Amino acid sequence: MTDVHAVITRVHREEWARVVASLTRRFGDLDVAEEAAAEAFATAVQRWPGDGVPPNPGAWVTTTANRHAIDRLRRELKRDDKQKQAQMLHDDEPPEPTGPIDDERLRLIFTCCHPALAMETRVALTLRMLGGLTVPEIARAFLVQETAMGQRITRAKAKIKAARIPYRMPSADDLPARVSGVLAVLFLVFNEGYLATGPDTDPVRHDLTTEAIRLTRLLRALLPHDGEVAGLLALMLLTEARRAARVSAGGELVTLDEQDRGAWDGSLIAEGHRLVRERLRSGEPPGRYQILAAINAVHTSARDIRDTDWSQVVALYDQLTHLDPSPIVALNRAIAVAELDGPEVALAAVDRLGDRLNGYHAFHATRADLLRRLGRSQESRMAYDAAISAAGNTAEIAYLTRRRDQLAER
């Protein structure tokens, strides 16, 4: 029975998005699609241990989900809508082309990430409809009450229905902008897992980083020629490769310069590097995620922090600044500049960002480290205090506290 449940778990992971997308295309209702898919998998849990796993599990789940959806609509059908009833009971016609790429899961991604929805809603809906995460799982991930998260998802589905947000691919002209919106959602999911917020949660959420990578792999399979999709996947892989070395046994953040590089995942690094090289060979101008992936490729190519090619890192940040002249990019560039030109030059660059980043914990943490390296301990201690107050991750707070207390020992 354990093996059967393992099969059901695998089928759920592999087929959930396909089943929900297929039902959405047929019935035009996310709520119906979600409920019917969930009921189909619940039926599998009941039947497969006794009846055995069907030869084609995905087809079995899809057929069962369609039956559940029809049963629900029959129960709800109180008005005389013969056309809808006919479509509900017999819909074997192939769908009309709905965009430059015809894949139901891809259309579902663009529906969940429609710009008419708030970003937090897009994230929740994507994890539910594409990832198959339950409402309690999503609520825990983002430190929201389960009822509130359920209401958020319900309202999102209702808005899609009321506003008649189309279940289709964007036009070729709109596709680049819409893809960037989808990537922003997936990147947000990954970042929440990579450095989770909140005092009562794990500092690194492997479930969220894994789900973000899985969904990005799906998008990569559906849009194999999109450079930014490949770039985001590479960035996630190269970041995830360092996960085992990122938090100490005592629950403290381990910064890049102190990490055990032997604990990094070589297979993820190799895959990430391959994607970066593939994009370089394309000759196309890189986007934001491709440049961030290239920066991570430089870091993960060095066997020791002292072997890092900092001049290349700074050059990549210069390139990124042209695309994204944000204070966060400027802050990260300054960290690399410190390794090339020294902490004093870097500190001057960081201090110029104070008006825009005063509430950002990484700004204060960077200042604290640069001031420490310059021997300005009292100012460094004050900057560490500000960083600790602004930080929202337990592992990071533990790290910053230790560094501050080490100053006190001098």
Q: Are 194 and 206 in contact (CB under 8 A)?
A: no
Q: Are 228 and 180 in contact (CB under 8 A)?
A: yes
Query: 253 phi and psi, to 5 degrees?
Result: -60, 135
Q: What is the spatial distance between Cα 404 and Cα 389, in angstroms, rounded to a whole number?
A: 13
Tell me the one-letter amino acid at 300: T
Q: What is the spatial distance between Cα 317 and Cα 142, in angstroms, rounded to a whole number?
A: 30
Task: Provide the token pair at 309.
Answer: 């090619």
pTM here is 0.80
The pLDDT of residue 90 = 42
The pLDDT of residue 144 = 82
Compute, in degrees rounded to 10, the torsion defined by CA atoms 357, 358, 364, 367.
Answer: 70
Mean pLDDT split into 10-residue runs, the chain, 410 residues: 81 88 88 92 92 90 93 74 48 41 76 89 89 83 85 91 82 84 90 68 74 90 92 98 91 92 97 96 94 98 94 97 95 96 97 93 95 96 95 88 82
Q: Are 98 and 25 in contact (CB under 8 A)?
A: no
Query: What is the full DSSP assignment across 258-289?
Result: GS-GGGS-HHHHHHHHHHHHHHHHH-PPP-HH
The pLDDT of residue 99 = 41
The pLDDT of residue 405 = 93
Q: 3-class SS at 253?
A: strand
The pLDDT of residue 394 = 86
Nearest to 264 by CA among 303, 295, 290: 303
Query: What is the full DSSP assignment across 345-406?
Result: HHHHHHHTTHHHHTT-HHHHHHHHHHHHHTT-HHHHHHHHHHHHHH--BHHHHHHHHHHHHH
